[in-house]
Amino acid sequence: MDLNIKVNEKDHLDIGGADACDLVDKFGSPIYVIDENRIRDNYNRFYNAFSKYYPDFKVFYACKANTNLAVMKILESEGCCVDTVSPGEVYTCEKLGFSPDRILFTGNNITDEELKEVHDMGVILNVDSVSAIKRLANVVDPNGLKLSIRVNPMVGAGHHAHTITGGVMSKFGIMDNEAVEVYQLAEDLGFDPVGIHSHIGSGILDPEPFKLAIGSTMDIAGKVHEEAGVDFEFVDFGGGIGVPYTPEEKALDIDHFAHENVKFFEEKLKEYNMGKPTMFLEPGRYIVADAVDLLVKVNSVKQSYRKYIGVDAGFNTLLRPTMYGSYHHIVDASKMSAPIKEEVDVAGDVCESGDLFARDRPLPEVEEGDVLGILNAGAYGFTMASHYNSRPLPAEILVNNGNATVVRKAETYDDLFRNQIIPDYLQ
Ligand code: LLP
């Protein structure tokens, strides 16, 4: 099994050398628990795999997956760069010490004000449309400004329809067949378009679509190079690299994946005589997904028409199972080696029937008071959490070699009212 699961001598779930049950005793539940070393390992495994075959390579961590400041600081210390999608994410990166040349901005449907704001922060922009290019030229001085353009490689893949970002149904990027014209337009406006970007989707374990996307992005880039005379300083293939969520799924052999893709990339560079631009990738999930578990406590076991294990978190805490039907492996952290006894539904505490972490999930005999580990919750877990049902957001705990630190305090009820104003006439 390729899932990141460790068990300690007490038969409890171990996260980065800390006992999951002790963490819940100490910090309460629900809590997101982050394993620092796993983040470092994931980043280094990924970076080393590609840079070994193509040394002029940079990782731009797609921070939408997890913007916890400690997580980002860990990646900053590793030398990682960041891909951002909003001025708020850019601001966060700059606050944390990422210099602007380590930040990419890949926004879509953004306003003139936001375009200017991120430009003024000095970061490199992956521009998503002709509209954005023209509007950018109106709000900043385009002369000599380096720019990258997002193209639709007409290849799409992803774990769910909502996460497929290439092809005719995708709102992202410019059309493949208008690329030459759009790069020329950017040049005519005075920009220096030095980059090309594509991103086909998220949660992809099959290497094939990546290869197709590299081929098609490079064919677009090659044509732009030949016909618009653009010399690319970098080619950015986005993110999307999946991780196993189920016990059956196999992790990608990242070294082999890197080797194959770099080989193909280099063939294409040669075919179009494009020199040696820097290669960018923007993994989010790969870096953080399996470095974080969500710990919850069982507060009710109910036999109705089905058997429900009720826990003290819901889709306000982790939305992925409800939003995408995503599988997250669940373990009884209080008795890791107990034999599987039955198939049960694991339900949250939100007042909606869709609030389920799992249906028909084989688990041991789970009892009230047990701690469950909902695994692989590091990517798009906390960042998609909400206040729905007026539940404060949970704490995040960082673990490093067994030492646990609160890196985000649990919210209080008063945080729910923050920024709300009752008008005088209603007082
Ligand atoms: N680059 C761009 C331009 C992106 O839009 C994304 C993700 C990434 C990189 C990183 O993709 P990753 O390597 O993490 O797959 N909320 C969904 C995932 C949405 C992904 C959005 N874009 C989920 O929970 O599965």
pLDDT on residue 112: 97
Q: Counting atoms of ligand 1 from 1, which one is nearest the CA of 65?
A: 14
Within 10 angstroms of residue 11's Cβ, the number of other Cβ atoms is 14
Q: How far is the CA of 239 from the centre of ligand 1 (A)?
A: 7
Which parts of the chain have pLDDT scores under 70? none
Nearest CA to ligand 1 atom 6: 239
Q: How far is the CA of 329 from the centre of ligand 1 (A)?
A: 20
Contact partners, residue 203, CB within 8 Å, separation at least 6: 158, 159, 160, 163, 240, 242, 285
Q: How far is the CA of 148 from the centre of ligand 1 (A)?
A: 19
pLDDT on residue 97: 96
d(CA 54, CA 333): 41
Angstrom CA distances, 245 to 134, 351, 376, stand at 42, 26, 7
pLDDT on residue 328: 98
- Please give the structure tokens belonging to residue 384: 């998609």
pLDDT digits (tens, 9 = 90+) for 361-405: 999 999 999 999 999 999 999 999 999 999 999 999 999 999 999
* Cross-sheet strand order for the sheet of 18-19: 6-7, 13-15, 18-19
Nearest CA to ligand 1 atom 23: 380
Q: Counting atoms of ligand 1 from 1, which one is nearest the CA of 197?
A: 3
Q: Counting atoms of ligand 1 from 1, which one is nearest the CA of 150?
A: 3
Amino acid at the residue 211? K
Q: How far is the CA of 201 from the centre of ligand 1 (A)?
A: 7
Nearest CA to ligand 1 atom 20: 202
Pick the closest to residue 105 from 63, 163, 51 (CA basis): 63
The CA-to-CA distance between both ends of the chain, in Å, stands at: 59
Q: How far is the CA of 283 from the centre of ligand 1 (A)?
A: 8
Active-site residue list: 351
Using CB distances shorter than 6 Å, the residues near ligand 1 are 62, 65, 83, 106, 163, 199, 202-203, 238-241, 282-286, 320, 324, 379-380
Q: How far is the CA of 427 from the centre of ligand 1 (A)?
A: 44
Q: Which of 124, 148, 162, 202 to mutate to test the pocket of ligand 1 (most atoms within 8 A of CB)?
A: 202
Angstrom CA distances, 406 to 19, 71, 395, stand at 15, 12, 7
Q: Counting atoms of ligand 1 from 1, which one is nearest the CA of 204?
A: 15
Beta strands 292-303 and 371-374: pairing type? antiparallel
Q: Which of 46, 60, 61, 64 to mutate to test the pocket of ligand 1 (most atoms within 8 A of CB)?
A: 64
Beta strands 6-7 and 192-197: pairing type? unpaired
